[in-house]
Amino acid sequence: MIIRKTENPRQRPPANEPLGFGKHFTDHMIVMRYQPETGWGEPSIEPYGPLNLDPSALVFHYGQAIFEGLKAFRGDDGRLRLFRPDRYLERLNRSAKRLCIPPVDTQVVKEAIKELVRIDQDWIPSIEGGSLYLRPFIIATDPMLGVHASKGYILAVIAGPVGAYFANGFNPVKIMVCTEYVRATPGGVGEAKVAGNYAASLLAGEEAKKKGFDQVLWLDGVERRYIEEVGAMNIFFKIGDEVITPALVGTILPGVTRMSTIEMLKAWGISVTERKISIEELADAAEQGELKEVFGTGTAAVIAPVSEIVWNDRKIIAGDGTVGPVTQRLFETITGIQYGRNSINTDWVEIL
């Protein structure tokens, strides 16, 4: 691996302001290039800075771009931990396949990520809930406008310090069911972490924000009945004693946090079912007082309690509007593993 360290360290985030999410980036980044004759080259670690791309690069025109998002932590014991890196990098290759991007050697990329985290480790915030968010992405670079899969690609990994997702404590969010637009359709790219999925969801998000909601809840694109996900988070419902999450039917992003949540619930002996669940079923369960908890799962927030879902003129309220015990326990256990606070599921973290 080629390592070229910066001579001009970047400005550190001001200590008296909340870090927010995705606003600051560390001194270095990983860059790796692909050409068909040579395959993926060696990764290099370079000073963080602009990528030089031709304006005709395919990514700008036809959107051949995928990404990932994972985190590194400094544990309470001072050691650096990566949370389930193999799961994220396997998914990167599944997304790559869907967009005709050549697969990477996940072990090579993982080793480069570990090196980046070691080099930029003093950027990991020491505040409660702080971590280093890592953003691998791959873009098509061929300078030509013919519609075809690019021959050349760049993989880059940038990193940035992030604070706790909920700056004012573990705050329940309000979400709105989107009835006008859809996020994904069967056979499409909904289950791949494709940049364009986000572009397609922005309008619905903006409209929901104007109405005072934090997120959009997406329904299936065919019948517009079955709950899919929240767009950057998967969703879980506790109805009675059972936890239900929509099954991965091809239009839902298979979250690593979703997978970890299911594994955790099973280990605790809590009944968890992956199946289709319609929005009517959810609204009816809430009316009958059976909807106990709702939470989203995703790398950024880990576990996000949801207090209220609005579907046209129906208000779906989870429990008593406060954070439920399963939601709380999942958050504490998963973050506990990430910071090395408990000795269970140590195979979920790689210590650097």
Ligand X SMILES: *Cc1c(COP(=O)(O)O)cnc(C)c1O
Q: Which segment (118-126, 160-168, 220-228, 231-239) binds ligand X by CB under 6 A?
A: 231-239
The only residue of 69, 75, 130, 188 in contact with ligand X, by rule CB under 6 A: 69
Please identify which residue in the block is written with the tokens 């290099």: 44
**193 touches ligand X (CB under 6 A):** yes
Residue/partner pairs of 32-37 with CB below 8 Å, 24 or more apart: 32/104, 32/109, 32/112, 32/154, 32/155, 32/156, 33/141, 33/152, 33/153, 33/154, 33/155, 34/102, 34/152, 34/153, 34/154, 34/155, 35/151, 35/152, 36/151, 36/152
Touching ligand X, residues 257-296 (CB under 6 A): 257-258
Query: Of 135 and 314, which has the nearer Cβ to ligand X?
Result: 135
**227 touches ligand X (CB under 6 A):** no
**130 touches ligand X (CB under 6 A):** no
Query: Of 150 and 261, which has the nearer Cβ to ligand X?
Result: 261
Query: Of 49 and 63, which has the nearer Cβ to ligand X?
Result: 63
Q: Which tokens sit at 5?
A: 């360290």
The only residue of 229, 244, 292, 310 in contact with ligand X, by rule CB under 6 A: 229
* Angle at the Cα of 79 from the Cα atoms of 78 and 82, rounded to 5 degrees: 135
**327 touches ligand X (CB under 6 A):** no
We find the least distance from the C-beta atom of residue 44 to ligand X, in angstroms, to be 26
d(CA 91, CA 96): 8
Query: Of 229 and 308, which has the nearer Cβ to ligand X?
Result: 229
We find the least distance from the C-beta atom of residue 165 to ligand X, in angstroms, to be 12
Q: Which segment (26-34, 72-80, 206-214, 227-235) binds ligand X by CB under 6 A?
A: 227-235
Pairing of strands 349-351, 80-83: antiparallel
Please identify which residue in the block is written with the tokens 């439920």: 324
We find the least distance from the C-beta atom of residue 254 to ligand X, in angstroms, to be 8
Q: State whether residue 88 is helix, strand or coil.
A: helix
d(CA 26, CA 31): 14
**298 touches ligand X (CB under 6 A):** yes
d(CA 145, CA 289): 56
**232 touches ligand X (CB under 6 A):** yes
Query: Of 253 and 294, which has the nearer Cβ to ligand X?
Result: 253
**Which amino acid belongs to residue 16?**
N
Q: How many residues bind ligand X (CB under 6 A)?
A: 15
Query: Of 27 and 257, which has the nearer Cβ to ligand X?
Result: 257
Enumerate binding residues for ligand X (CB under 6 A): 69, 193, 229, 231-234, 253, 255-258, 297-299
